[in-house]
Amino acid sequence: MKLRVAITLTLILGAALLPAAAQQRTFVPVATGGTAGVYFPLGAALAEIWTARVSGVQATAQTSAASVANINLLARGDVAVAFVQNDTAFYAFHGIEMFKDQVNNRPAPIATLRGMAMLYPETIQVVTLKGKGINSIADLRDRRVAVGPAASGTEVNARQILRAFGLGYYNIREDFLSFAEAADQLKDGVIDAAFITAGFPTAAVTDVAASRDLQLLAVPREVVEELRESYPYYASVTVPAGTYRGQDRPVQTAAVMAMLVTRQDVPEQLVYDLTKAMWDNLERLQAAHARGRDVSFATSRQGMPITMHAGALRYYRERGIR
């Protein structure tokens, strides 16, 4: 008994002698996406920055089903920061699209969602293989098509773009697959095409191009303009020739924006410190993935579709970013 008491006292005294920073750690889980996308490598780099540069913080990057799943994780308090598409953030903040209360047919907004930073364009890449006789999205009629995980940001993009070409789930054979699953099934001939919304080059698409003759389908500028009438967060972008093996021509398509979000109740000073550390160490993000080079402090607030967190807003105002 005396020995047990002595050990207990030693542990208590030892803990009391530890520096305060060693006793108090703030855990910051970061929801990213699948390992075959862009969110995960950038999220891992962010977690590294925050752990090293923000006193008392232990940040970790977590894989997930991306935008919609990330917002739900954030709303439940399972994570503190998340990567999402800006269109999905808008839907969540206003409680529409996949965040609508389907039982009562009314909006179910996630009012605690807050913005931290705008990041880079996320390109809607519609991928098929040469030799399948598919030269346009309109040719996907009666084909088996991966449209992203169910209720994901990619899946919403797929539905909206298919509709612009006069198609819907009633006249394609849709499969709800992750990027990695879609790549594997496209290579194996199980599916005919896949929608992948991510910064390019995307690991899943690179994987397909490494062993198959890949083809990207266009979303012409005029179609993007039609989409913008109902969904103003779309932009027209071009995937440059040579982005993937065998892609010898530039391909015009649509894009949304990737962004970082947090929750209103995450402490203001913590979000301020996280925001500052990210922008002070931008070169680490730029080294983590090619899309990191598209992340710019000058555009960190441009197109922000939801209310910004007070901590992030304070940092941007101090730096003169409007």
Decide if 177 is inside a domain: yes
Kindly tell me if the per-residue pLDDT of 189 is higher than 90: yes
Question: Is the domain of 214 the same as that of 191?
Answer: yes
Question: Is the domain of 46 the same as that of 145?
Answer: no
Decide if 4 is inside a domain: no
- Tell me the pLDDT band of 34, cut-offs 50, 70 and 90: confident
Question: Is the domain of 108 the same as that of 135?
Answer: no
Among candidate residues 252, 278, 293, the one with its CA nearest the CA of residue 116: 278
Residues with Cβ within 8 Å of residue 119, at least 6 apart in sequence: 42, 83, 257, 258, 259, 260, 294, 295
Question: DSSP code of 199?
Answer: P
The tens digit of pLDDT for each residue in 127-150 reads 999 999 999 999 999 999 999 988
Among candidate residues 182, 127, 191, the one with its CA nearest the CA of residue 152: 182
Question: Is the domain of 45 the same as that of 73?
Answer: yes
In the chain, how many domains are there? 2
Question: Is the domain of 127 the same as that of 240?
Answer: yes
Q: Are 95 and 177 in contact (CB under 8 A)?
A: no
Boundary residue ending a domain (229, 257, 285)? 257
Question: Is the domain of 127 the same as that of 116?
Answer: no
Instruction: Round to whole Å and give the CA distance between 162 and 143.
Output: 12
Q: Are 183 and 36 in contact (CB under 8 A)?
A: yes
Question: Is the domain of 274 the same as that of 171?
Answer: no
Kindly tell me if the per-residue pLDDT of 304 is higher than 50: yes
Average pLDDT score over residue span 295-299: 93
Question: Is the domain of 218 the same as that of 152?
Answer: yes
What is the phi/psi pair of residue 18, to 5°? Answer: -70, 150
Decide if 207 is inside a domain: yes
Question: Is the domain of 127 the same as that of 234?
Answer: yes
Decide if 308 is inside a domain: yes
- Which of 154-168, 203-217, 225-239 is least confident? 225-239
What percentage of the chain has pLDDT greater than the value 90?
Answer: 77
Question: Is the domain of 204 the same as that of 220?
Answer: yes
Question: Is the domain of 273 the same as that of 173?
Answer: no
Boundary residue ending a domain (257, 277, 302)? 257
Please state the pTM of the whole predicted model: 0.78
CA distances for 255 relative to 186, 189, 218, 219, angstroms: 22, 27, 12, 10
Looking at residue 32, its pLDDT comes to 96
Looking at residue 256, its pLDDT comes to 94
- Tell me the pLDDT band of 36, cut-offs 50, 70 and 90: confident
Rg over CA atoms, the chain:
22
The domain that holds 167 is classified in CATH as 3.40.190.10
Looking at residue 11, its pLDDT comes to 37
Determine the 3-state secondary structure of 165 from DSSP.
coil
Decide if 179 is inside a domain: yes
What percentage of the chain has pLDDT greater than the value 70?
Answer: 93
Looking at residue 23, its pLDDT comes to 56
Average pLDDT score over residue span 310-320: 97
Q: Are 248 and 239 in contact (CB under 8 A)?
A: no
Question: Is the domain of 80 the same as that of 107?
Answer: yes
Average pLDDT score over residue span 74-97: 94
Domain that residue 283 falls in: 26-120+259-318
